[in-house]
Amino acid sequence: MATLADLKISEVKLSEEQTGKWGMVIDQDICTGCQACVAACAMENNLSFVGEVDSGYGRSMHWIRIERFWEGAYPEVKMTPNQPMMCQQCGSAPCEPVCPAYATMHSQAEQLNLQVYNRCVGTRYCANNCPYQVRSFNWRDYERPEPLSNQLNPDVTVRRRGVMEKCTFCIQRIHKAQDKAKSEGREVVDGEFTTACAQACPANAITFGRVDDPESLVSQLAHRGHGVKHLEELGALPSVTYFKGG
Amino acid sequence: MIKRIFDWLKQPLGLIAVGIAVLALFSLAAYGIYTTQQPPEQPIQFPHQTHVAFGIQCLYCHPGAAKGPAAGIPSQAKCWGCHNQIAKTQTSLLLAPLKDAVTSGTPIEWVPVAQVPDFVQFNHRAHIAAGKNCEDCHGDMSKVTIAQNPQVFNMGWCLNCHVETAGQDHEKLVKLSDCGTCHY
Ligand code: SF4
């Protein structure tokens, strides 16, 4: 009988060719910066509302944020396209090896970076090692006054003070879709479900799906040619492809 | 000052006092653990064994187990479906809360017994589909009145069964031992 010890980390191939399983394509040219994805993500994933004071300390909590940059020097400043930024679900994630508690694991089944809340001891090392700065820390138990307390998603853990959290690619939706497909005796079909951000986006700037399936919409888009992966030179093998100026 | 306290504790009376204090702390801790292992007070002393003896299937009252994450606790409408045809319901003292609940329309507030922590995402359907029986985790309900946990649900116990179920199937083992399968 195979045991847990047989699943050695060394079995995970960290080669350039590794494609991962789930991936995302974001078209920055059609993103309007409306923040609907940010709101949808917060609702879906039980994010805390940090409030003005703590936000001022840089403790705001988002699993996705819209970045904007300025190019050029005054007065010729030009705004770059809006850039939705979330956990890139790296194939070789810098956050993973630094966790002393093995709380940020690489899921071998789903090829995602996991955050196991009950294991996290809150060293915040992972957040400091994340080149995309997409991890947020629960500095407090933030209050959810009525009626906000009634909108919690039962499929997602409500995090407590002292743990790290980040985008999960809506793993609860992945599991739900897989469970439904399995109960009907079939495979998950492309487009059957999507992440909360992609679902909410009015401009359809975000596409989510299986990148290891060449037929899926997301791989077709990803292979269109001019997409970039952010900070690709770090070799973290991110799963999100961005399009800009196409 | 501290030396004086130590000196006092070293004499026979002091030793007895220390002994009593240790004993008191120990029994308090033991009592604390004992209380966590007691089934909670329920609004009705629901006799599971009687219902099982009548041949009622688990899934008749807890149909959610076959369909989704939560097995569900039946509403009083479900109880009443059978009980309003049973003469004893009108007279039984045990069933008075049910009669009251139905006539006044207030829900019965059952206390869930078999629970996993918030950071564990459990799905009944997958377990039933994998051929697990209710009693594998919840114990033999034909022997107990109100539900009790015969089994402490902890991760080692879950994982043991997962690894056993996967057997030689590597793909299954990967899935069943993945942190992300239960924790997200
Ligand atoms: S919802 Fe779509 S358009 Fe709006 S900010 Fe997000 S990605 Fe951009």
pLDDT tens digits, one per residue of A21-56: 899 999 999 999 999 999 999 999 999 999 899 999
**Is there a contact between B111 and B42 (Cβ–Cβ < 8 Å)?**
yes
| Kind of pairing between the strands at A22-27 and A240-243 | parallel
User: Global pTM?
Assistant: 0.84
Average pLDDT score over chain A = 88
**How far is Cα of residue A161 from the mean position of the Cα atoms in its chain?**
21
Residues A117-168: pLDDT tens digits?
999 999 999 999 999 999 999 999 998 888 888 889 999 999 999 999 999 9
What distance in Å separates the CA atoms of residue B8 and residue A226, rounded to the nearest whole number? 83
Residues B138-170: pLDDT tens digits?
888 888 777 677 777 889 999 999 999 998 999
**Is there a contact between A110 and B175 (Cβ–Cβ < 8 Å)?**
no
For residue A80, what is the DSSP state? P
For B101, phi then psi, to 5°, come to: -60, -40
Residue partners of A219: CB distance under 8 A and separation at least 6? A23, A209, A210, A211, A212, A213
From chain B, the residues in CB contact with A179 under 8 A are 123, 125-126
Average of per-residue pLDDT across A73-81 = 89
For B91, phi then psi, to 5°, come to: -105, -25
Residue A189: pLDDT band with limits 50, 70, 90:
very high
What does the pLDDT read at residue A9? 41
What distance in Å separates the CA atoms of residue A102 and residue B180, rounded to the nearest whole number? 13
- Segment 91-110 of chain A within 8 Å of chain B by CB: 105, 107-110
Q: Using the beta-carbon criterion (under 8 Å), do A7 and B177 form an inter-chain contact?
A: yes
For residue A209, what is the DSSP state? E
Higher pLDDT, residue A20 or A8? A20
Task: Indicate whether A18 pLDDT > 80.
Answer: no
What does the pLDDT read at residue A15? 40
Residues B5-59: pLDDT tens digits?
888 888 888 889 999 999 999 999 999 888 777 777 888 888 888 999 999 999 9
Q: What angle do CA B31, B37, B40 make, to 5 degrees?
A: 110
Structural domain that includes position A235: 4-243
Q: Using the beta-carbon criterion (under 8 Å), do B119 and A117 form an inter-chain contact?
A: yes
Average of per-residue pLDDT across B67-84 = 90
Q: Using the beta-carbon criterion (under 8 Å), do B180 and A2 form an inter-chain contact?
A: no
From chain A, the residues in CB contact with B180 under 8 A are 105, 107, 109-110, 112, 114, 171
Domain ranges, ordered by start, for chain B: 2-36, 48-182
What does the pLDDT read at residue A13? 40
- Can you tell me which residue has the tokens 């093998």? A237
What does the pLDDT read at residue A8? 44
- Name the domain count of chain A: 1
